[in-house]
Amino acid sequence: MKSRLILVLFLLVFLVACATTPTGRTQLAFMPDDEVDAMGLQAFNNLKQEKEISSNSREIQFVQCITDAITNEVDGSWEVVVFNDNTLNAFALPGRKIGVHTGLIDLVDNQDQLASVIGHEVGHVLAKHSNERMSQQLGAQVGVSLVAAIAAPQTAMGQTAISLLGVGAQYGIIMPFSRLHESEADTIGLELMAKAGFNPRESITLWQKMAQASQGAQPAEFLSTHPSHATRIDDLQAEMSETIKLQQQANAAGKNPNCQK
């Protein structure tokens, strides 16, 4: 009886927590938005204390120019910080916070390539992927605990099966959803950069450069939280014709960003 009650409550929580992403996908989001935003703000403040912040005015202006053009397409005011870090990375956090590493600025050739990354990161925030990721992990943990409580395995084989169920949740639920998050952020970011007037074709060039820079060091896609570079490029190419139309409409409306590296 107790197990049935737990199962019913578990299912009710899942049903109540359903939300919809900007692409129309149904997602689970247990956490209140203001709490997730507060976590993002705290994490960003910690990063600003722990990491060296760039004082290069040219780099800062370049990144700020691109960020302003993209975030003008969405609600709210966004803070962007350039960090002195040679890794090829950028990130966005709940609460409208964006960080860009100098290594990524060095890699890109122009505003459009960096816009594809910043658009992608903003896409993560708009789709509430941080909330969904936490909800998935919580759901996976509760699900494994529920099965263990109902089955109550006593043998060594039974205990091993429960342990493997946890591994299955990791590779069968959390990681694939993470790859889905990356692909969804690519779609949202591509649309954002095009609506801001940037050239979406440069997103392909950017990921080709990223693939070359990684020199085959990327793990197998099955065990990775990101799509392979080849998968990512193929997906972007499939959306390119429609996205170019958005760019043309933006340019015709006077949106012609001119951010100089």
Q: Tell me how far the alpha carbon of residue 171 is from its chain's centroid.
A: 18
Active site residue 121: yes
Among residues 121, 132, 182, 202, which one is catalytic?
A: 121
Q: Which residues are catalytic?
A: 121
